[in-house]
Structure 1
């Protein structure tokens, strides 16, 4: 569920890029500008719920994924109204990051993610060369 239909093409490209096209029944839009979520919250909520109910009834979906962080605070209410699980990306991404940290995982510092090689500053920043200390794993 996205806010405006014109953003649907972006969602389609992302689904294809990440290999999830076959998991998405349809991309639907509530046709509400993002600012309406703040300025006209009741009307925006009603419109989102209506479109989610259409998706449930017409598309036979089992869950809804919200495509706008501005809808994040409506997740539980939408789920209650529609009777389906509702996922929003902000909380999902945060929980994923928390789980990776909880597992003690971190970004590798090998290969393409290695620390940059030290280099001298030039021009008006030349005096900063001695101040620039490379990060070391012990400082993480």
Structure 2
């Protein structure tokens, strides 16, 4: 089984870190290839960044689909789940966003969960996704740490302390489970679980587990209506070509 893990920002360091986290939970028969765009948003911290990220996701999924060995599933490794619906239009295979996967697994792990994310300006998008995924009753808190995304490329002690403090506050406020609201926090899951005392869900691991499970079950993306192939075909969007300059973090 092959999963294509897409980091929609251009950070090579973060892509490598996310890839390590994904491979740590993948089964022995699962190959995780991690990619990021050569050009685009260096960090996804605004609505403008999200537009660029969504376009990159669509292009990378289309390029992989049209390659020699298309992936069996795709994971979008950004907590805003950019380009998720568009990517699902392009392929029959499962396409899983990390916010979607993390919230669903958190709702199984406990009755209530809290989200701990990066900048406060991203909270609006997080609220939107909570509503989209039907998690209004399960999600009891959304907290911003004030940590920029690229500061998580190499997670220092100050960042860990800040995230742990907000996670502990969420647990004290009634969250049975903590959801990490950025793919760049993927390597902190085990440490935070031990420190906070409640389950901590990393969306990258959750999405890889969900995607691989769907492949084993023979579940793909329905093509009945909304996610049917776009009427004008499934060509990649008209954007500066990135696939030729793409590095796979194998």
1:1-140 alignment, distance < 5 Å: 1-39=116-154, 41-57=156-172, 59-108=173-222
Alpha-carbon contact 1:37-1:45 (below 8 Å) kept? no
- What RMSD, in angstroms, separates the aligned Cα atoms of the two structures? 2.2
Specify whether residues 50 and 103 from structure 1 end up closer, same or farther in structure 2 by C-alpha distance, changes over 3 A only: same
Name structure 2 gaps, 5 residues minimum.
Answer: 1-115, 234-250
- How many Å separate the matches in 1 of 2:198 and 2:117? 17
Specify whether residues 42 and 99 from structure 1 end up closer, same or farther in structure 2 by C-alpha distance, changes over 3 A only: same
Larger radius of gyration: 1
Q: Figure out how many residues of one structure are paired with residues of the other and give that number.
A: 118
Name structure 1 gaps, 5 residues minimum.
Answer: 120-140
- How many Å separate the matches in 1 of 2:139 and 2:220? 31
Higher relative contact order structure (alpha carbons within 8 Å, sequence separation ≥ 6): 2
**Aligned twin of 2:105:** none
Q: Secondary structure at the match of 1:47?
A: helix
- The answer to which of 89-98 and 39-48 deviates more is 39-48
Q: Secondary structure at the match of 2:179?
A: strand
| Cα-to-partner distance string for 1:104-139 (whole Å, 9 max, x where unaligned) | 22344555656679x9xxxxxxxxxxxxxxxxxxxx
Q: Secondary structure at the match of 1:98?
A: helix
Shift of 1:49: 0.4
TM-score by length of 1: 0.74
Shift of 1:64: 0.2
- How many Å separate the matches in 2 of 1:19 and 1:112? 19
- How many Å separate the matches in 2 of 1:111 and 1:10? 26
TM-score by length of 2: 0.43
